[in-house]
A and B are shown apart, each in its own frame.
Chain A
Amino acid sequence: MKLPGRILLGLFCLLVAVWLIAPTIVVVPMSFNDKKSLAFPPSGFSWQWYQNFFTNPEWSASLVSSLKVAVVTAVFATIIGTLAAFGLDRMKSRVSGVLRALLITPMVVPGVVLAVGIYAVYLDTQLVGTMTGFVMAHTMLAVPFVIIAVSASLEVFDKRLETAAASLGATQLTAFRTVTLPLIAPGILSGLLFAFVTSFDEIIVALFITSPYLKTLPVQIFSSITRDADPTVAAVGTLLFIATSLVIGAGLLIGSRQGKR
């Protein structure tokens, strides 16, 4: 490609990149606002919204609920999803194709329709505002991500390695434990992370099945945004951003160290 074309393409990509990350950037300065307003740029500096987040029981309780729900969801979804990915991998391709399509439908069902249905079921079974209710709904939403992540690593996994292990005298279980599992571990781990994030960030179903006693963080954020202009939301956003960056940074670091070995 000629140089002007390259420059144009580069500039275009820069613009798209800015568009992608602008909303992330803008939240950070807002969180240090000195006034209770969402005008940008903020007029002064203060830590009060962070203080508010950690001291206001409404906010800290919702953070704790979200963490609880997301951790339990991630564990269940990873187990169920990994089993399913293995099952699909061992099946005849036509059957597994149909089942796979079926199992990832939660990703495409419109959120509000699903939420209305789940709300109806939960009203009849007294699951509204319960931990069980949240975990069940979120696990169902998170399983597809685990299946996709684990299937992706099973697809590139060379099954002859298991055969090789078996030919060297390993039992099926040993071969699985010492050969298969370590090789697909990155897939399982990324499935776990996806499941956690799916639950932690889920809002539509949560808005329907929430109660004053069990409110997840996104619900709290949503009600805060619709109620008034409270920069605490920006502080939460910044904290989430930092936390995720640390986790992903650690992941990359471990990944690159393993790559070097």
Chain B
Amino acid sequence: MAASATGSRDTGPAAAADDRWRWFRGQAFWLVAPALLLLVVCLGLPLAIVTLRSFSEPQWGWQNYVWFFGTPVNLTVLQRTFAISAWVTLVCLIAGYPYAYVMTVVGPKMRLVLILCVLVPFWVSGVVRTLAWVILLQDSGVINSVIRSVGLGPVKLIRTQTGVVIGMAQVLLPFMILPLYSVMKAIDLRLLQAARSLGASPARAFAQVYLPLSLPGVYAGAIIVFILALGFYITPALLGGPRSTMLSTLIQNQVLSLLNWGRGGAMGVVLLIATFVLLALAAPLSRQPHKTGSRR
């Protein structure tokens, strides 16, 4: 709080230059204050308590972390959580990149249709959507009937990692497509024509001109998908089986079923740290679109 207060005072000289805004700038911090207060009470305090309990229950010390990293099952689940998130990110990227590109080149009517397809998943409650995936993926489900009709044996999808990845990627795909699209629509397609006219093959024009320009969107989409995937709870809980349990399910189990706040808290802190380390590592990459944007 203290740092932000001095920060708003720092704006003083800048405000003097633009006299009209002085009043507003003086108030700027107070406009943000209610949001910050809410954040401290409903986010800061809960996370502080989770962290505290991971060290204090049942007695003070590192015991819960020693237990977490000393139990092979936990490490398997931790590794699996990262693996599933990576797969989901990859699937979203492969499906989302061409889709976002097509959104930028089609006519306005077709674009509206494509945008609607991205937004429709948001219209149906997340839990209901997961139910739909249960219906689609079950052993006697639609996907398996299609596979069987081409003459292939039934594929086990429900309660497998593949099923979890398919369901999660569908939920997260819009988070990949939307940043990709917002970056791609700003790319001047005449640059590609210029590259072609200078003798570049289509593949080379793509790889050397389009791809680098679209990378900020790729980074932004991949980071948000990966991070959201790490914390997924509902989809793995309903679509997955014991062999596709993710960290969130273990945390829920420790706290609600076993009433072990210490161990659940330690797992939560591990997941939280993983999330923020990733964000910190990725921040310079994802800030790129901002830089290119501010050149205007």
Contacts and interface: CB of A to CB of B under 8 A. Distances in A.
Given A26-B132, A203-B126, A117 B50 contact: yes
B264 A116 contact: yes
B127 interface: yes
A90 B14 CA distance: 11
Most buried by B among A116, A163, A237: A116
Interface stretch (A7-15, A44-52, A181-189): A7-15
Nearest to B279: A108
Nearest to B49: A120
A109 interface: yes
B134 A225 contact: yes
A34 interface: no
Nearest to A39: B140
**Chain B contact residues: helix, strand, loop or mixed:** helix
A166 B120 CA distance: 43
B49 A117 contact: yes
A222 B234 contact: yes
A84 B31 contact: yes
A38 B122 contact: no
A109 B275 contact: yes
B124 A24 contact: yes
A226 B240 CA distance: 13
Interface string A191-232: 000000100110110001000000001100110011000000
Contacts of B256: 208
B128 A233 contact: yes
A27 B114 CA distance: 21
Nearest to B51: A117
Contacts of A87: 27-33
B178 to A, nearest CB: 11
A63 B15 CA distance: 49
Which residue, of B10, B126, B128, has the highest number of chain A Cβ atoms within 10 A?
Answer: B128
Contacts of B21: 90
A115 B38 CA distance: 16
Interface stretch (B62-70, B148-156, B211-219, B265-273): B265-273
A193 B279 CA distance: 27
Nearest to A235: B128
A221 B124 contact: no
Interface of A: 1, 9-10, 12-13, 16-17, 19-24, 26-27, 30, 38-40, 80-81, 83-84, 86-88, 90-92, 94-95, 98-99, 102-103, 105-106, 108-121, 136-137, 139-140, 143, 147, 163, 166, 172, 197, 200-201, 203-204, 208, 217-218, 221-222, 225-226, 233-234, 236-237, 240-241, 244-245, 248
Given A30-B135, A163-B20, A226-B238, 20 more contacts: A13-B98, A20-B121, A20-B170, A23-B121, A26-B136, A40-B135, A86-B31, A88-B28, A102-B39, A108-B275, A109-B43, A109-B272, A113-B50, A113-B271, A115-B252, A117-B268, A120-B46, A218-B125, A236-B128, A237-B125
